[in-house]
């Protein structure tokens, strides 16, 4: 896992040189190079490998998905959104580069990601590239990340069009699970997997996304700044709809455990010690709560 993180970090650095105008490239690189867990690129690379493909062919797409993820973190931290001064243990992008540059750095990452896929994926076919770019645009936009964020913002202050349970699932399927889905779907496309396998790994990623969000919600209640690298307790203080606020800590933990078992069931037929290691680390952390 550590070796894979290092490989991703090296490629992220290589794919994004700082050129003129330096201010924007420095702002893009700042949050991108802070120590994140790199779960989404690892899911992409590992899916390609476990389905019999060449992991290195997935590297540009894996790094592009991390760029998209970092874009969403930079914009999420802005004062007009979640207004968080810290990310990955350091001051948020807008605290270092100012709001205008943070907005632009996010926009630049959002657009540089597909550019990276097109420029660096020299060994993928045109058909694979078309499929990947389609998945990217669908999941990044109003059919994915943006939809999740809009409903998340709307739901603060208790404004629901649907029931709280449906709203919570909608937010987290779109805000969180969508990038794990993008990662495994692209990894499977790069391995030339058939549609039924793409759908199976997609189903795994949907469940993993929800498990991961419940984990994140629980951590927001019980963890520390040092562990999470961001302000803790913000969800509760801002009256956010979360698994813990809706179901309480105990039921949130039960949901976490039951969905985690579903993840193990799906992934057990594939040979991936890395994905199992990720599941184990979440399980271990929550079991101590
Ligand atoms: C795509 C144009 C466009 C806008 C994005 C701001 C926004 C709309 C969406 C916010 C999405 C968001 C921040 C979801 C939170 C998901 C989550 C649990 C993030 C934390 O992931 P980790 O723990 O973070 O993997 P690291 O830092 O380890 O990568």
| Residues 12-62 pLDDT 10s | 999 999 999 999 999 999 999 999 999 999 999 999 999 999 999 999 999
Q: Which residue has the higher pLDDT, 159 or 176?
A: 176
- Which is more confidently placed, 234 or 86? 86
The residue whose CA has the least distance to atom 15 of ligand 1 is 176
List beta partners, residue 87: 90
Q: pTM of the entire structure?
A: 0.95
To test the ligand 1 pocket, which listed residue (70, 87, 145) has its Cβ within 8 A of the most ligand atoms? 145
Pocket flag, ligand 1, residue 110 (CB < 6 Å): yes
Residue 78: is its pLDDT beyond 90? yes
Residue 175 Cβ inside 6 Å of ligand 1? The answer reads yes
pLDDT of residue 241: 87
For residues 201-229, give the mean pLDDT: 91
Q: What tens digit of pLDDT does each residue of 103-121 get? A: 999 999 999 999 999 999 9
For atom 29 of ligand 1, which residue has the closest CA? 36
User: Does residue 161 carry a pLDDT above 90?
Assistant: no
- Minimum CA distance residue for ligand 1 atom 1: 140
Instruction: Please tell me the residue having the least CA distance from ligand 1 atom 26.
Output: 36
Distance between Cα 257 and ligand 1 center (Å): 23
Measured in whole angstroms, the distance separating CA 150 from the mean position of its chain's CA atoms is 17
Report strand pairing: 86-87 vs 90-91. antiparallel
Ligand 1 within 6 A of CB of 216:
yes
So what's the pLDDT on residue 54? 97
| Banded model confidence at residue 156, pLDDT cuts 50, 70, 90 | confident
CA 40 to ligand 1 centroid distance, Å = 11
Pocket of ligand 1 contains residue 176 by CB under 6 Å: yes
| Residue among 68, 173, 176 to mutate when testing ligand 1 (max atoms within 8 A of CB) | 176
Helices 59-76, 178-190: inter-axial angle, 10-degree rounding: 170
| pLDDT of residue 237 exceeding 80 | no
pLDDT over 80 at 233, yes or no: no
Q: Which ligand 1 atom lies nearest to the CA of residue 70? A: 29
User: pLDDT tens, 241-271?
Assistant: 889 989 999 999 999 999 999 999 999 999 8
Contact 90, 163 (CB under 8 A): no
Per-residue pLDDT, 3? 93
Domain 2-287: which topology? Farnesyl Diphosphate Synthase (1.10.600)
Q: For position 146, what pLDDT does the model report?
A: 97
The residue nearest atom 13 of ligand 1, judged by CA position, is 73
Give the ligand 1 atom nearest the CA of 140. Answer: 1
Domain boundaries, the chain: 2-287
What pLDDT does 231 receive? 78
Regarding the beta carbon of 87 and ligand 1, being less than 6 Å apart is answered: no
């Amino acid at each position: 896992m550590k070796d894979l993180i290092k490989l991703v970090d090296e490629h992220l650095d290589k794919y994004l040189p700082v050129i003129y105008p330096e201010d924007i490239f420095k702002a893009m690189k700042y949050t991108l190079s802070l120590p994140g867990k790199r779960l989404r690129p690892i899911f992409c690379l590992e899916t390609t490998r476990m389905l019999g493909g060449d992991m290195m062919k997935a590297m540009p797409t894996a790094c592009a998905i991390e760029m998209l993820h970092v874009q969403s973190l930079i914009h999420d931290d802005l004062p007009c959104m979640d207004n968080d001064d810290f990310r990955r243990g350091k001051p948020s992008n807008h605290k270092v580069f100012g709001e205008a540059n943070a907005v632009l750095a996010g926009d630049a990452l959002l657009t540089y990601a597909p550019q990276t896929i097109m420029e660096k994926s020299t060994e993928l076919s045109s058909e694979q590239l078309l499929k990947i770019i389609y998945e990217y645009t669908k999941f990044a936009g109003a059919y994915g990340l943006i939809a999740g964020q809009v409903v998340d913002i709307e739901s603060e202050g208790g404004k629901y069009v649907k029931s709280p349970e449906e709203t919570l699932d909608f937010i987290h399927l779109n805000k969180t699970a969508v990038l794990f889905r993008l990662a495994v779907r692209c990894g499977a496309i790069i391995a030339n997997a058939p549609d039924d396998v793409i759908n199976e790994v997609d189903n795994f990623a949907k469940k993993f996304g929800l498990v991961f969000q419940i984990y994140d919600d629980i951590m927001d209640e019980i963890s520390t700044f040092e562990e999470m690298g961001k302000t803790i307790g913000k969800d509760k203080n801002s009256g956010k709809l979360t698994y813990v606020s809706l179901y309480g800590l105990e039921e949130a933990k039960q949901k976490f455990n039951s969905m985690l078992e579903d993840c193990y069931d799906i992934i057990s037929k594939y040979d991936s010690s890395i994905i199992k290691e990720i599941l184990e680390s979440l399980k271990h952390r929550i079991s101590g709560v």
